[in-house]
């Protein structure tokens, strides 16, 4: 069985600089907003809907970043082929507010601090997603790999 999710690296422009949004998931890990595709949605619509639901921020897709693919075992459905599509998303509206049922918190960080936190307490497979987003924004990351 195949399962498709989508999400994004959300950024905003402030005072000539940029900030990157990170969430803290229900397990206390640094992560990115994402969720499962619903019937009739495109992958892009899924990404934007999940970002609004989890973080309160409305965004526009700037560019695709990458995909993560893995398999996991579901109790009743067996082996699931999971595919997660990530996009670079610019925040254009909304109000920052964590969806407490899903995540513990959401905050804005300077790019270097966002990268540091991802490397320290994030999921390994998100390293290349965040570094890809920073590269698309023209920012260098150190300690990648």
Share of the chain above pLDDT 70, in %: 97
Domain CATH for 19: 3.90.79.10
Torsion of Cα atoms, 75 then 81 then 87 then 93, to 10° = -30
d(CA 14, CA 44): 25
Domain-embedded: residue 143: no
Which of 6, 68, 72 shows the shortest CA–CA distance to 42?
6
Which of 27, 26, 31, 18 shows the shortest CA–CA distance to 86?
31
Domain-embedded: residue 144: no
The pTM (predicted TM-score) of the whole model is 0.92
pLDDT per residue over 43-87, tens digit each?
999 999 999 999 999 999 999 999 999 999 999 999 999 999 999
Report residue 32: phi and psi, to 5°: -125, 145
Domain-embedded: residue 35: yes
Domain-embedded: residue 28: yes
What tokens does 67 get? 């995909």
């Amino acid at each position: 069985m195949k399962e498709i999710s989508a999400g994004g690296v959300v950024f905003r422009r402030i005072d000539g600089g940029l900030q990157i949004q990170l969430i803290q998931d229900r397990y206390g890990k640094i992560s990115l907003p994402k969720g499962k595709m619903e019937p009739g949605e495109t992958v892009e619509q899924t990404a934007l809907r999940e970002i609004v639901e989890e973080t309160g921020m409305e965004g526009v897709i700037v560019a695709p970043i990458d995909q993560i693919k893995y398999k996991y075992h579901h109790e009743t459905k067996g082996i699931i082929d999971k595919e997660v599509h990530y996009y670079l998303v610019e925040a254009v509206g909304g109000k920052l507010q964590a969806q407490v049922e899903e995540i513990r918190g959401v905050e804005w960080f300077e790019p270097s601090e966002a990268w540091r936190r991802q490397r320290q307490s994030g999921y390994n497979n998100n390293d290349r997603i965040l570094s890809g987003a920073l590269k698309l924004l023209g920012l260098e990351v150190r300690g990648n790999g």
